[in-house]
Chain A
Amino acid sequence: MRIAQRFVPFLLAGAAVLLARAPLMIEAAPIESSMGVIQKIFYFHVPSAIMAFLAAFVCGGASAAYLWKRGKGADALAVAAAEMVVLFGFIVLFTGPLWARKAWGVWWEWQDVRLTMTLVMWMIFVAYLLLRRFGGPGSEVLSAAAGLFGAALVPFVYVSVNYWRTLHPKTTVVNTLPPDMAFVLRWSMLGFLLLFVSLLIVRTQLELARYRLEEAYAGLDD
């Protein structure tokens, strides 16, 4: 963890440079023919969704490790990743309806499986954090189980658009991006990835510091 911490300033600086440049590139990117200007939301909406999925996998893996070995490092990583799912998932759920209002004529469509499953997945990780906050002793195990369920949902959220054809386009739509649009997407994706990794490291560091604080308080009581 200490080695990872040393990279945080560089990761954050990289993310800042990439994400500061991104809006200019998004503005300069071609306007999509069928959706128009609103499609430009795509360049931050999709990377946020990918980061939320990635965070859910990290949380699921760390939760499984915690359930197996009960290590505090795994638990801290799981908590940090769950918070990342909620953060990046919120961005997805905030920007999606703005795009939908213009492209589909509705803010939200419950029959769209991708939308509804994304909300359910997000709520599982909100439940994870609520369990950690208010669950009391033993909530680590319960929340780890919730983390596993949340991570297991991710592949279904991803492929849902291929099996239940509603409003979201299929996953193959990204492959049809013209090169000048694809470059901007990759740029934003890299910026979000660097931001995600640095926030994950810092949040894990915070959780480990909290454990140390609890131990120190317990030591004072003895």
Chain B
Amino acid sequence: MRDLTTDAQAQTPEGFVSGAQTAAAETLPATPLVYIAYSGIWLVLLLYVFMLWRKLQRVEKDLQQVSSARPGADRR
């Protein structure tokens, strides 16, 4: 089994350091991964907001139908 503690000490940075030159030396391109990450986040959030809005519309419509089926029923 790999010694993850030693690996982590070698790989995990203990602080953020600003530096613009490193990007050019990258082997696996990071930009597509960043784009996938942000596109995914926006997609998930927009999809959730849309689903929430649809569910609210449906429940409010059902509530109106039930209320109209019971004249005199109290509406909160």
Contacts and interface: CB of A to CB of B under 8 A. Distances in A.
Interface of A: 23, 30-41, 44-45, 48, 87, 90-91, 94-95, 98-99, 101-104, 109, 111-112, 165-170, 173, 176-178, 180-181, 195, 199, 202-203, 205-206, 209-210, 212-213, 216-217, 219-220
Ordered nearest first, which 5 A-B pairs have the shortest CB separation? A33-B19, A176-B15, A38-B30, A30-B18, A37-B30
Nearest to B47: A87
Contacts of B7: 167
A217 B67 CA distance: 9
A166 B4 contact: yes
Q: Which of B22, B30, B69 has the most CB of A within 10 A?
A: B30
A102 B30 contact: yes
A38 B33 contact: yes
Interface SS of chain A: helix
A159 B34 CA distance: 27
B14 A209 contact: no
A166 B8 contact: yes
Given A98-B36, A102-B30, A178 B52 contact: no
A41 B33 contact: yes
Contacts of A181: 16, 18
A165 B19 contact: no
Label chain B's interface by main secondary structure: helix
Interface residues of B, number: 45
Contacts of A177: 16
Contacts of B14: 169-170, 173, 176
B56 to A, nearest CB: 5
Given A101-B28, A213-B62, 13 more contacts: A23-B38, A31-B18, A38-B30, A41-B33, A41-B38, A45-B37, A102-B28, A199-B48, A206-B56, A209-B56, A209-B63, A216-B63, A220-B69
A31 B45 CA distance: 26
Nearest to A182: B16
A37 B23 contact: yes
A49 to B, nearest CB: 12
B66 A217 contact: yes
B74 to A, nearest CB: 9
Interface string B19-47: 11011001010110110111011001100
Contact of A202 (B4, B23, B52): B52
Contacts of B63: 209, 212-213, 216
Nearest to B32: A98
